[in-house]
Structure 1
Amino acid sequence: MSVATGVTDVDSADLELLRESAARTAVSGEPDQAALLVLRSSGLLGLPVPAAHGGHGGGAREINRVVSRVATANPSLSIVLFQHCAVAARIAEWGTVEQQERFLPPMARGEVLAASAWSETGVGAAKKRLGTTATRQADGGWLLDGAKAFTTGAGIADLYLVLAQTSAPVDDPRSTYGSVGQSFFLVDARAAGVHPDLSLDLVGMRGSATGFLSLRECAVGADASLGPIGEAPRIIAGVRATGATLGAVSVGIAEAVLELTLRHLDSRGLLAAHATRHRMVELGSRVEAARAIVERAGALTSADPSMTTLHSKLFASAVGEEVALDAARLLSSAGYVAGHQLNSLLADARAVALMGPTDELCRELVAAPWA
């Protein structure tokens, strides 16, 4: 993969390697080390890092385009890339000078892969009352204790952005996601008390290393907190305003489904049928519409970028799943074979709707002003 100044692209040869990796992980359910090596050496991990720290200073539009293209070959790896970019962007926006100088250069070089650890079992998508706590210590540091679920990159990340409760939660009707009294912490994966668990057997995104992360009496320094203590909802709300969207993953998956379906139909002479050609045109139009709203989110040209970002995730994830289902009908019995690539893509498309913010939470956030 290559990143030129102001222009980001993914080499076709590397995309082919990532496709081969996706086929392996669809069977094994484990992160593919060869694909991770490609990602680390690609330069793409430096996409959101400011140029002053050795990165490429890419914004949401560039992130969405690159994530989408990686997703055409390997949706699992595109999720890992997206989460890394999200953490890097938060450090660039909210980090102290020392944190930026410490973390951003190695992130840009691919030496540090970052992941988010926000979700918890039983807490719900809105994450109002967390079980994971961070307790201030006499030396000014913090002691983290708790468990995170559905952490993408668990066990392969070098750095986790952990959401924890630092004081009693405060009910704030203005916040639909998170609550006052929650804070973010940058936690080294090698720190004592950090225990990843990849025992989850996922249907989709099987190569994303999505699993559990336990934090047992994990001591971090006073300099580990990111942003104001107790005000995590401010940071969370700001994420939506950036325009970076998981809808880009769905667009990439839908594009891969279209290409696969066209190859299948063409190889069997089925495109000669007028009705079949028109069905493919309809699918292509839906993918174009999803791509357009993802582009609009990244361009930040709407009156309310936060809402556009949420709509882009909702619309693109629905399109990704619907296009894969329609493609399965077009492939008929060929798509019913367990090992067919289409089934992996369909499972990956379904998974995007469940990734944070989940589609359910996106709807709540969009509808909140009407309550």
Structure 2
Amino acid sequence: MTTATREDLEQIRELARSVATGRIAPHAADVDAQARFPTEGYRALVESQLHAVVIPESFGGVGADALTGAVVAEEIARTCATTQQVSGANELFSWPLLLAASEEQKQRWLTPIAAGEALGAFALSEPEAGSDVASMTTRATPTEDGWWRLRGTKRWITNGGVADCYVLFAVTDPDAGGRGISAFVVEKEDAGLSFGAPEKKMGLKGSPTTEIFLDDVVLPADRLIGGPGEGLKIALGTLDRTRTGVAAQAIGIAQGALDVAVDYVSTRRQFGRALAEFQGLQFMLADMAVAVRAARLLTHTAAEEIETLSPTMGAAGAAAKLFASDTAMRVTTDAVQLLGGAGYVKDFPVERMMRDAKITQIYEGTNQIQRIVIARDLLRRAAH
């Protein structure tokens, strides 16, 4: 990865903000209202090379570092979290390959993602295995000719049915617990692969989320990523990195809501003066701004730990995701309150932002799980 200078960061922030404001924001309300794929926004990201910045230059990507990725995610989510979520799934797809795939596998699947010719997804969760990943029941059994036969169901899959390729996790050794899970690439056209109807969600409505059904999906040996039994390690290594992206997404949602609230109270008048002149509302805005600033600093620090492969980067990402997502929920709720009745209707985007914020406390590990990650890291370091 290429480490960005401060000047580079500001340039890419300006680019991402310009694209988000000019080409994504105009469609955000309609994407939410129609629960449709954010075609215009995603196309704008592809044309600006902001749709998969983590992919290295050797595969046609930007090769951005984690901090740059966080900056891009924040700016996109500030106007449309759905569009950011769709592109963020490319990062979820890419990291397992970057961590464990062969050069041939990386070239095969990362190059079309980087070119905007394919869309990626990450299939880990199941109907009965969400936070408890090791209890998954999807099975991959070897065939006599050295291939793999997959059976099972995956759930809550972002870009399900739309993505061209999926990093999918399955049990290859039922007796080995978490050490019996392996990672595979499954392609949309593989025989036996099908998808459920899109979930009807509270927020991120234009980001397709479906179940994936594997009915005797037979894969050649070169679809295995890493070695047999390395899947859980690959999945957790991916999440240690992408949780910082969720934190950045949450910050973007919160910042967007704060921007709307500041503008509204500055122009709305009651009792003969602007709402912004009431000290009680000023205090609310100040608390919102402090929380957003603190979340951003936590997230940027976590991104820096990823680049240095710090032994505490998992806990840093968990802390950033925990604090930023709680901040997004609190700030968007306060923004709705500051707008009063106007905040409760779709004329203003804060009600959408409030709905979008909620999922950041849930996916890629609930905030209860993040607390476990942080506590375990504290206790592990104390023991040593």
Q: TM-score, normalised by structure 1?
A: 0.91
Residues in 2 aligned to 1:241 and 1:199: alpha-carbon distance in whole angstroms: 27
Instruction: Report whether the alignment pairs 1:148 with 2:154.
Output: yes
Q: Does 1:327 align with 2:326?
A: no
Match of 1:210 in 2: 209
Find the counterpart in structure 1 of residue 24 from structure 2.
18
Query: In structure 1, what residue type is equivalent to 2:27?
Result: S
Deviates more, 1:190-199 or 1:60-69: 190-199
Q: Which has the higher helix share?
A: 2
For the pair 1:89 / 2:95, whether they are aligned, the reply is yes
Question: In structure 2, what is the Cα distance between the partners aligned to 1:165 and 1:45?
Answer: 31
Q: 1:236-247 residue pairs with structure 2 within 5 A?
A: 236-242=235-241, 244-247=244-247
Q: Is the 8 A contact 2:325 2:361 kept in 1?
A: yes
**Post-superposition shift, 1:146?**
1.2
Partner of 2:80: 74
**Is the Cα–Cα contact under 8 Å of residues 68 and 248 in structure 1 kept in the other structure?**
yes
**Percent of residue pairs identical:** 27
Is 1:201 paired with 2:207? no
Matches within 5 A, 1:270-309: 270-300=275-305, 304-309=312-317
* Equivalent position SS for 1:147: strand
Instruction: Determine if contact 1:245/1:312 at 8 Å carries over to the other structure.
Output: no
Secondary structure of the residue aligned to 1:219 is strand
Deviations 1:161-202 (A, max 9, x none): 10111111534xxxxxxx111111111112122212233100
| Structure 2 match to 1:41 | 47
- Report the Cα distance in structure 2 between the residues aligned to 1:124 and 1:303, rounded to whole angstroms: 25
Q: Which residue of 2 aligns with 1:260?
A: 260
User: Helix, strand or coil: the match of 1:184?
Assistant: strand
Shift of 1:360: 2.4
Give the letter for the 2:290 counterpart.
S
CA contact (8 A) 1:134 1:143 kept: yes
2:319 to 300, 311, 316: 311
State whether structure 2 residue 172 is matched by structure 1 residue 166: yes
Q: Contact 2:240–2:318 at 8 Å: present in 1 too? A: no
Whole-Å separation in 2 of the counterparts to 1:40 and 1:136: 38
**Counterparts of 1:323 and 1:247 in 2: how far apart (Å)?**
14
Aligned length: 361
Contact 2:83-2:207 at 8 Å conserved across structures? yes
- How far the C-alpha of 1:323 sits from its partner, in A, is 0.6
Secondary structure of 2:173's counterpart equals: strand
Instruction: Report the AA paired with residue 229 of structure 1.
Output: P
Answer whether contact 2:203 2:359 (CA < 8 A) is retained. Answer: yes
Gaps of 5+ in 1: 172-178
The residue type equivalent to 1:239 in the other structure is T
CA change 1:165–1:315 in 2 (3 A) is same
Amino acid at match of 1:291: R
| Residue 260 (structure 1) shift | 0.8
- The answer to which of 293-302 and 244-253 deviates more is 293-302
| CA distance in structure 2 between the partners assigned to 1:144 and 1:307 by the alignment | 33
Name stretches of at least 5 consecutive residues in structure 2 with no aligned partner. 269-273
> Matches of 1:294 and 1:229 in 2, distance apart?
33
- For 1:196 and 1:38, how far apart are their aligned partners in 2? 27
Work out the CA distance in 2 between the residues paired with 1:149 and 1:273. Answer: 47
Contact 1:31–1:208 under 8 Å retained in 2 = yes
Alpha-carbon contact 1:325-1:346 (below 8 Å) kept? yes
Range moving further from structure 2, 83-92 or 204-213: 83-92
- Report the CA distance shift for 1:11/1:252 in structure 2 as closer, same or farther (over 3 A): closer
AA of the residue aligned to 2:75: R
Tell me the C-alpha RMSD between the 2 structures: 2.1
The letter of the residue matching 1:192 is: A
- Using structure 2 for the length normalisation, give the TM-score: 0.88
